[in-house]
Amino acid sequence: MSHADPNCIFCKIIAGQIPAKKVYEDEDILAFHDIAPWAPVHILLIPKQHIVSMAEVTAAEAAVLGRMMTLVPTLMTQLGVSNGFRQVINTGHDGHQEVMHLHMHVMGGPRPWSRG
């Protein structure tokens, strides 16, 4: 795994080559609003290290993935989500992963995933 992929849109966002509406950033993680939201609040959390998908995760990534998971409640509270949220990580082609850089969708607001 390399630190960055020059052809990856998320690596370009991390590098500042493509703008994003950032929610959070530290040395290992970036969180930003999804450009095509499925919910009133829809953010993406990505590791700054280029990891293709969950299928490529090793024990070496456990700490950053754990930090991503534990960061979510704080971010959603800051964004005004108070009645629950959904976290989704799509993996690979059959898992409907569209960008080949591991990312977690976090969606909240009034029943954004309801089919009605």
d(CA 61, CA 50): 11
- The two tokens of residue 49 are 């290290």
Would you call 105 a catalytic residue per the annotation? no
Q: Choosing from 93, 96, 103, 105, which is the catalytic residue?
A: 103
- In 1-116 the beta strands, taken as DSSP E runs, fall at 22-25, 29-33, 41-47, 85-88, 104-108
The pair of three-digit structure tokens given for residue 1, joined into one six-digit string: 């795994």
Active site residues: 103
